[in-house]
Amino acid sequence: MNSNVNDRKPRLVFFQWDHQPNANAAGYLLLHMQQQVKCLSTHFDVVVINRDCDYAEICDRYEPDLTLFESGYRSHGSRRIKITNTNTHIAVPKLGLHNADAWCDRRAGFLSDMEQWGIEAYFAIATMTPEYMPAVKENLFVWPNFIDPDVYHDYGQQKVIPAMLTGQAYGLYPWRQTVFPMIRDRYPCLVSPQHAYESKLASQLLSGEAYARALNASLVVPTCGTMGGEVVRKHFEIPGAKACLVTERTPAVEAAGFVDMENCVFVDGHNVVERLDYLFAHPDEIRHITTAGYSLIHSRHTLSHRPQIYQWFMLSKGLQFGEKIIQSGPFGDLTKVQRISRQESVHIVGEASDRALLKQGDLLLEQGRVEEAKQCYARCLDYVSYLPEAKFRLAICALQQGDADRAYGLMVGLVKVTMTEYEALNPDPVEWAYFLLALICRGQFERARRLQDFYPSLSHDEFRRARLVIALLGGSGDAAVSGRYGRDRKSIHQIPDRSDSEWLAWFSDILERCQQPDLANVLRHAPVGRSGVGEKVTFLHFKRDAGWRLRLYSGVDGLMVGLHLNGLRPNVPPLPEFRYFSHLARRLVPHSQRGPLRRIRTALSRLPVGTGN
């Protein structure tokens, strides 16, 4: 009996989003989610929970050895589940799973979830995620993409398709944008339509066995890992179905074991025709490369070769004080080492195009060349139109050019993605700080002051500085805001390293440019030492925000607090930009009775918005 207990697989409760079949969704998205569960099942007895639930009740019922929380997904018809009481059963280790692209704009929501659920170790499916979330990379490991060999294998199809072009090829995929037309215009091709994930036509795309058979019938199939130089599923699916992979040379692809002209073919826009002409003229060489690629995938990149989550579980059980867990590479094993050794996980230092542009823009901004910096940040949006880092930096540029309205609009958009679209508990702390600062730059100090405590658990050094500004300008500066007033929430943004005095001088200049000279003067003369605020400063008198509509929003939110109805209170700021009343109606009124309220919300949304001071 003891032998049976010891031999049983540890039980994993996987809190997965509700990825139910959607008539309009791409079929392969659902397959990916199912394959993740199948992969976990190689090492765990997996229980999938994909509905709203009480964590304590689930743990009582299933007695898990480990719990895994999917988070940060950019929904394509899937529903994010609500999980309560996650502060119970503290003896059960918890892991987060960032199941999304490294550059996804739900990363702030992911970090909010992790803090809310008390999770301090995370896995990501993207190999480049540590570069996109450096604040947590010490506890961030990679559980990389893989294939299911039951789907992707050699079906023995006759090679009747010279080249197959599959996958999207818009701005996110610059290599495909260059290479695909050159192949399409020169060789006979099977071309798959480029339907977006959310398109009603996405369900018509090949997936599963049909897709694998089409790959198996093809001689060469090109793909790339986006502007981020990522390793995507297609890198494994193509050779895994015994087709010759044609791709872009990147550090991540080489880390996966791909070698040019040995088990794949590296090309770019300058040599793709030359290399494919050579290969088509030498069919034996294509067969050799294809066979070697097939061996690589089936020996290193199937679901049975992804034990990283299981390794973390086993290592964490015996982790001693002074030890930590590291990963030998994005496709490597996890091991434990002494912290004093200073060994770190090996992450890919890639050549992501957006990261290079951000760094270039930051250097230009530091030199005061704001227009040139803006161009770099705008070019990032050509790759990923929703990239939060680029939008945040464009807001900083707007402030430095005195355009507070533009900065405010950008900050509203960033906060809305996390709070309205993703419905996180709280926003990115740096984004929230600069949302408040943009309000002050617009002359809406009172509104910023009222909103500073709207998310009471939010803490970050940059948010502390925003509160410091509010305290100084309101004449109530004291040591209460001089230090860190709580454990820092991690941010996806990296801020220039400045002392408080340097930062206040910088923001004073911003206020001057935004036509707020009185406020700038107060900050310039505020005595700030190493511990923060020194003496109190002269009290400024501020006008109340104009507009009955804005007072109505503030009054209703205050009434919810006064009546102790925080559970029904919307988790978005009481401003029309965030559709506060729409969120309030959804909380107050059952779904079946919401029809009549839509007309009221529509009427309210058409009322003019107050412009503040």
Read off the pLDDT of residues 352-366 as tens digits, 9 standing for 90 and up.
999 999 999 999 999
Please count the CA atoms within 13 angstroms of the CA of 501 that sit on its side-chain side.
Answer: 7
β-strand 66-71 against 94-98: which pairing, if any?
parallel
Dihedral Cα 224, 227, 230, 234, nearest 10 deg: -30
Q: What is the pLDDT of residue 602?
A: 52
Residue ranges, the chain, pLDDT below 70: 1-6, 21-27, 76, 195-204, 476-486, 527-550, 589-613
Q: Give CA–CA dist 41/35, Å, rounded.
A: 10
Q: Give CA–CA dist 161/158, Å, rounded.
A: 9
- Token pair 């009222």 is found at 450
- Residue 454 burial by Cβ neighbours in a 10 Å radius (0-12, 13-18, 19+): middle
pLDDT tens-place string over residues 1-58: 444 556 789 999 999 999 876 655 566 778 888 999 999 999 999 999 999 999 999 9
Q: Give CA–CA dist 566/187, Å, rounded.
A: 63
Q: What is the pLDDT of residue 143?
A: 98
- The 3-class secondary structure across 444-506, one letter per residue, is CHHHHHHHCCCCCCCCCHHHHHHHHHHHHHCCCCCHHHCCCCCCCCCCCCCCCCCCHHHHHHH
Measured in whole angstroms, how far is the alpha carbon of residue 472 from the centre of its chain?
34
Alpha-carbon separation of residue 202 from 28, 205, 303, 385, 515 (angstroms)? 10, 6, 25, 21, 50
Q: Give CA–CA dist 234/366, Å, rounded.
A: 40
Q: What is the pLDDT of residue 203?
A: 65
- Token pair 């049909």 is found at 210
Does residue 202 contact residue 195 with C-beta atoms inside 8 Å? yes
Q: Give CA–CA dist 266/250, Å, rounded.
A: 9
Comparing CA positions, the residue from 13, 37, 10 lying closest to residue 94 is: 13
Q: Give CA–CA dist 385/593, Å, rounded.
A: 37
Count of other CB atoms within 10 angstroms of residue 87: 11
H helix or E strand, kind and range, residue 533: strand 532-533
Count of other CB atoms within 10 angstroms of residue 122: 23
Three-state DSSP class for residue 544: coil
Q: What is the pLDDT of residue 608?
A: 47
Q: What is the pLDDT of residue 528?
A: 63
Please count the CA atoms within 13 angstroms of the CA of 82 that sit on its side-chain side.
Answer: 5
